Chains A and B, each alone.
Chain A
């Protein structure tokens, strides 16, 4: 990983990679959503509302995956002092929070016709809401801190401790079973019919590529800002 420690080398790879991730992500996401909405059968109980799954599930996974990424990057930042680790953790925060919000909103919209309510204080819903608030806290904290030094480390510590919530979200439907159904897709298999499962995975792939493109863009922006700041400082010295 230290091969990429040089921001210039990272940028040489990230710059051409970004449009590929972006456009492939947009194409797959659009394709999967059109497929999901128009070419999947109605569900036995939920009817057509099942089709919100093609946004809800990718958003949920990426919201959780985002924080997992923040936690890993934070560990790398604290332990190995990798210069890009902190930058990548900060770059993940806003897209991660956005996907967590999309998950909560689509879940709420889905809950109204199927369960009969916009919101219940169920274990899964509550822990997902906590994840969203953790994201907001992390964003505020990392914006308040300078790029280098102790304060950046405080955000990293927050990122690591907040990761406790990720396994809680995952286990919540088993530990506190109430309104949200149990996991449909586990390592052991899936209880989602192939007709929904295939476009769902295409959608997950598409949203993931989009997520990657957003993170790379934000990392490049952050690096560019750091360079501007450094140059301004040099100019001020003359």
Chain B
């Protein structure tokens, strides 16, 4: 193989790799973007029951109800405006507590209750020492503004 052809081959491989990486990323991310909902976007999106989606938001204070069997729970996910009732059966992550963030994979049931297959805890961008959080406000209300004061 002539050096020139070798170089041409390398260029083609590089460009193919680049385009491939771009396409994979775009596909993965578009899929991700299209099925992530907050209670507000879910309320206005008219999602069909049974379609696999991901729901994210905050666990409403006082909303977690554990059933007698010990593994079934229901709770309410809320954002600024809307809320969504969620049912889940399984072990919850350690950080899954009232007032904290949650991301749930699942689908809407016919009764508009979101049935979650998996629950992941989500935390916000604030990092606060435990002692400070105990003293001032509830953890979920920490924002950049309250911390910088």
A binds B: yes
Residues of A within 8 A of B (CB): 40-47, 50, 53, 113-117, 120-123, 126-127, 130, 133-134, 137, 141, 144-145, 149-151, 154-155, 157-158, 161-162, 164-165, 168, 172, 175-179, 181-184, 188-193, 195-196
The reply to whether B121 and A115 form a contact with Cβ atoms under 8 Å apart is yes
- When distances are taken between beta carbons in the complex, the residues of chain B under 8 Å from A151 are 6-7, 10
The reply to whether B124 and A137 form a contact with Cβ atoms under 8 Å apart is no
From B21, B28, B95, B123, give the contact of A134 (CB < 8 A). B21
Residue in chain B with minimal CB distance to A151: B7
Question: Taking the complex as formed, is B94 at the interface, i.e. its CB lies under 8 A from any CB of chain A?
Answer: yes
Given A41-B130, A45-B123, also A126-B36 (CB < 8 A): no
Given A133-B21, A137-B21, A161-B18, also A126-B54 (CB < 8 A): no
Q: In the bound complex, what is the Cα–Cα distance between A47 and B139 (angstroms)? A: 13
From A120, A126, A133, A154, give the contact of B29 (CB < 8 A). A126
B120: min CB distance to chain A, Å = 5
Given A41-B130, A176-B32, A179-B122, also A130-B95 (CB < 8 A): no
Of the listed stretches B43-51, B60-68, B140-148, name the one at the interface; the rest are far from the partner chain. B140-148
Question: Taking the complex as formed, is B71 at the interface, i.e. its CB lies under 8 A from any CB of chain A?
Answer: no
Q: In the bound complex, what is the Cα–Cα distance between A40 and B129 (angstroms)? A: 8
- When distances are taken between beta carbons in the complex, the residues of chain B under 8 Å from A40 are 129
The reply to whether B123 and A116 form a contact with Cβ atoms under 8 Å apart is no
Q: In the bound complex, what is the Cα–Cα distance between A116 and B93 (angstroms)? A: 5
B125: min CB distance to chain A, Å = 4
Q: Could you name 14 residue pairs across A and B whose Cβ atoms are closer than 8 Å?
A: A41-B129, A44-B128, A113-B95, A120-B120, A133-B21, A137-B21, A141-B13, A144-B10, A155-B14, A176-B36, A179-B122, A181-B123, A182-B125, A190-B144
The reply to whether A116 and B121 form a contact with Cβ atoms under 8 Å apart is yes
The reply to whether A141 and B14 form a contact with Cβ atoms under 8 Å apart is yes
- When distances are taken between beta carbons in the complex, the residues of chain B under 8 Å from A123 are 29, 32-33
The reply to whether B124 and A46 form a contact with Cβ atoms under 8 Å apart is no
Q: In the bound complex, what is the Cα–Cα distance between A160 and B130 (angstroms)? A: 44
Residues of B within 8 A of A (CB): 6-7, 10-11, 13-14, 17-18, 21-22, 24-25, 28-29, 31-33, 36, 54, 56, 92-97, 100-101, 103, 118-134, 139, 142-144, 147-148
- When distances are taken between beta carbons in the complex, the residues of chain A under 8 Å from B36 are 176-178
From B28, B130, B143, give the contact of A43 (CB < 8 A). B130
Q: In the bound complex, what is the Cα–Cα distance between A154 and B91 (angstroms)? A: 51
The reply to whether B29 and A127 form a contact with Cβ atoms under 8 Å apart is yes
From B17, B18, B130, give the contact of A44 (CB < 8 A). B130
The reply to whether A114 and B121 form a contact with Cβ atoms under 8 Å apart is yes
B9: min CB distance to chain A, Å = 10
Task: List 19 additional A-B contacts (Cβ < 8 Å) besides A149-B7, A164-B22, A189-B144.
Answer: A44-B130, A45-B95, A115-B103, A115-B123, A123-B32, A126-B25, A130-B24, A137-B17, A141-B14, A151-B6, A176-B33, A177-B36, A179-B56, A181-B124, A182-B124, A182-B125, A184-B126, A193-B128, A193-B132
Given A43-B128, A44-B128, A126-B28, also A114-B21 (CB < 8 A): no
Q: In the bound complex, what is the Cα–Cα distance between A116 and B131 (angstroms)? A: 24
User: Top 5 nearest A-B pairs by Cβ distance?
Assistant: A116-B93, A44-B133, A41-B129, A184-B125, A192-B127
Given A130-B25, A134-B21, also A191-B95 (CB < 8 A): no
The reply to whether B122 and A126 form a contact with Cβ atoms under 8 Å apart is no
Residue in chain B with minimal CB distance to A179: B103
A54: min CB distance to chain B, Å = 12
The reply to whether A154 and B127 form a contact with Cβ atoms under 8 Å apart is no
